[in-house]
Amino acid sequence: MASSNRNNIQLAADAGQSIWLDFINRDLLKSGKLAELVELGLGGLTSNPTIFQSAIAQGSDYDDDLQRLAAQGLDANSIFEGLATKDIGDAADIFRPVYDRTGGADGFVSIEVDPQLAGDTQSTVEQARRLSETLARPNILIKVPATPEGIPAIRTLIGEGISINVTLIFSRDAYRNVANAYIDGLADYKAKGNSDLSGIASVASFFVSRVDANIDARLGDASGSGLLGKAGTANAKLAYADFQEIFGTDKFASLKPSGARVQRPLWASTSVKNPAYPELLYVDGLIGPDTVNTLPPNTLDAFLDHGSVAQTLTDGVVAARNDMTALAAAGVDIDEVTDELLAAGVASFTDSFVKLMANIRAKCDSLAAAAGQPRA
């Protein structure tokens, strides 16, 4: 529980973890609700195609902009980019005081490249460049998925000084590839004659609850095994141990005098999928230095109300290794699980994006018909 004069977001910050919000819509921005959360200590915001699908498809907050952009003859993808960059830019402006106050360490807002490009390195790079140029703010992170094709894109973009949120990380192998791509990108940027690396930021978004949902289903009726609900947290704790190792190397240390920042692990998918589990299982249990936890609104409310803040991330690492060993002995192939989750994650975001494009086209047509205008 928070003390009487400091809330749990602030206490988490004292422990080295920034709490972000995994949500965005126009009402959050216009009503002042986001600014109020920033006053409470909120350190950043993440978005994804599913969040935008929900935001744009519901209500009338976007209708004026939809009509204006459709009247310009833009297609659904261009209309979405116009809507999304406006919201993300406005959110980044609200967080800019956090960015300035922390010397560029926090206060970031993330926008994702088209998930349909997850298997296309060059197209991912090109869209990330365009989004970065359009938004033109230092506290923007462009989200790039940790697919095999995304890894070289991460190095290229970091090497150009573009800050990145690497999303859809499920496996420790992928995480290590991501972290090394970031460090290599920093070295590339420096090799081009750039002596200051402090303006480049990155987070590595490691998904947690989906790991348990998948593995629990594989375990089936194994309530007596003691393994249900263990894999997500164990996987994250071991990834954090990888983080400590990688960013403790001489290779990264050589970049620190130039202002290089660590790439913070970000815990994503932290609302429980199984209602039988404690609602803050993936929040209270994953608090530690140089990390971020991005929470959907209901989980954030619960954390503020009754979260328990303590350094938990480095506790039980041996137990985490034992849990992963026991899962393997029970027939769970973690590589198979994480490959499946990555494919499903890309497919889910792609499906949301395709539905969002259809929603935009339908809404533009509906608004045009109501106004007596030709359909888009």
* Residues carrying an active site annotation: 143
- Calpha distance 207→228 (Å, rounded): 17
- Calpha distance 218→35 (Å, rounded): 43
Note the maximum CA span of the chain: 67
- Calpha distance 272→285 (Å, rounded): 12
41 within 8 A of 348, measured Cβ to Cβ: no
Comparing CA positions, the residue from 114, 113, 131, 129 lying closest to residue 161 is 129
List, in sequence order, the alpha helices (H) in 41-149.
49-57, 63-71, 76-101, 121-135
HSE, side-chain direction, 13 A CA sphere, residue 63:
11
What tokens does 122 get? 């060059």
How many CB atoms sit inside 10 A of residue 108's CB? 30
CA angle 217/343/292 to nearest 5° reads 85
Q: How distant is the alpha carbon of residue 81 from its chain centre? A: 18
Cα dihedral 279→281→285→286 (10° resolution)? -90
3-state DSSP: the chain helix, strand, coil percent, rounded to 5?
55, 10, 30
